[in-house]
């Protein structure tokens, strides 16, 4: 067993967790949620049912696979991964159990689309904090049922993105359907905000 302290985004943390289990057999998970900046704003058990508790002295902390040969970094070479490690990684991945909401949502989307698309699941708990830390924008959420689906071939568009952030421009006018979720994020220090909202039918 080892204390596993992953950091970074969800996918980076999962790389550290999976590879640590492969290497050490079991882990005591230390999942820290940062209070500022980017990164994950949810707990591990907001995503998975697995419980990784234990007591040990040795620790590992990383934002990638702890086995260097498994880190291709999108540079190709995925066909040349060590076969034994690849097999053990897959075995560990199969033991991870997503929460019911994620499992049901994946099934729902796959049933709707068949084999055409891959379904990418994201947690939306981090979005408000990340938008506040990365910039000040007017954010419009896209309620389309396809906004959580990422196709293999078509390029990103307003139909496959979760939201549109519009930097404010002096004299600008933004018109949008009122049913869209929208918000104006906090301005800078001593910022004066004047709002004129009009509903047109």
Question: pLDDT tens across 77-101, in order?
Answer: 667 788 899 899 999 999 999 888 8
Compute and round to an integer the Cα radius of gyration of the chain.
21
Residues 131 and 185 in one domain: yes
**Domain span at residue 8?**
2-97
Averages of pLDDT over runs of 10 residues in the chain (201 residues) are 92 93 96 77 88 94 92 66 90 91 78 60 46 44 47 50 71 76 72 71 63
Helical axes 10-24 vs 83-95, angle rounded to 10°: 110
- CB contact at 8 A, 86 and 37: no
Residues 131 and 116 in one domain: yes
- CB contact at 8 A, 161 and 142: yes
Q: Looking at the 3D structure of the chain, how many domains does it have?
A: 2
Residues 85 and 106 in one domain: no
Q: Of 20, 97, 3, give the one whose Cα is nearest residue 66.
A: 20
- β 2-4/59-60 pair status: parallel
d(CA 171, CA 150) in angstroms, rounded, equals 35
Residues 142 and 181 in one domain: yes
Q: Classify residue 70 by its DSSP letter.
A: G
Residues 88 and 145 in one domain: no
Residues 16 and 93 in one domain: yes
Residues 195 and 110 in one domain: yes
Residues 105 and 164 in one domain: yes
Residues 111 and 26 in one domain: no
Residues 110 and 201 in one domain: yes
d(CA 187, CA 138) in angstroms, rounded, equals 10
Domain boundary at 97, 115, 148, which?
A: 97
d(CA 188, CA 36) in angstroms, rounded, equals 16
Q: In sequence order, which residues have a C-beta less than 8 Å from that of residue 140 and are 6 or more positions away? A: 163, 164, 166, 176, 180, 181, 182
Question: pLDDT tens across 182-192, in order?
Answer: 777 776 667 77
Residues 118 and 191 in one domain: yes
Q: In sequence order, which residues have a C-beta less than 8 Å from that of residue 52 and are 6 or more positions away? A: 4, 17, 26, 27, 28, 29, 44
Residues 145 and 69 in one domain: no
């Amino acid at each position: 067993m080892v204390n596993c302290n992953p950091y970074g985004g969800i996918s980076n943390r999962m790389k550290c967790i999976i590879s640590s289990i492969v290497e050490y057999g079991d882990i005591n998970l230390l999942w820290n949620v940062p209070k500022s900046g980017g990164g994950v704003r949810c707990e591990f058990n907001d995503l998975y049912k697995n419980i990784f508790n234990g007591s040990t002295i040795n620790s590992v902390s990383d934002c990638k696979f702890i086995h260097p040969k498994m880190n291709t970094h999108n540079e190709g070479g995925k066909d040349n991964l060590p076969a034994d490690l690849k097999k053990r990684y897959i075995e560990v991945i199969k033991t991870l159990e997503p929460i019911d909401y994620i499992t049901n949502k994946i099934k729902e989307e796959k049933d709707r689309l068949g084999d055409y698309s891959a379904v990418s699941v994201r947690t939306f708990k981090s979005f408000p904090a990340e938008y506040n830390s990365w910039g000040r924008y007017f954010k419009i959420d896209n309620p389309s049922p396809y906004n959580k689906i990422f196709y293999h071939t078509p390029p990103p568009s307003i139909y496959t993105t979760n939201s549109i952030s519009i930097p404010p421009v002096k004299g600008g006018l933004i018109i949008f359907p009122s049913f869209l979720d929208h918000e104006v994020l906090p301005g800078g220090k001593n910022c004066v905000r004047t709002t004129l909202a009009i509903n047109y039918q």
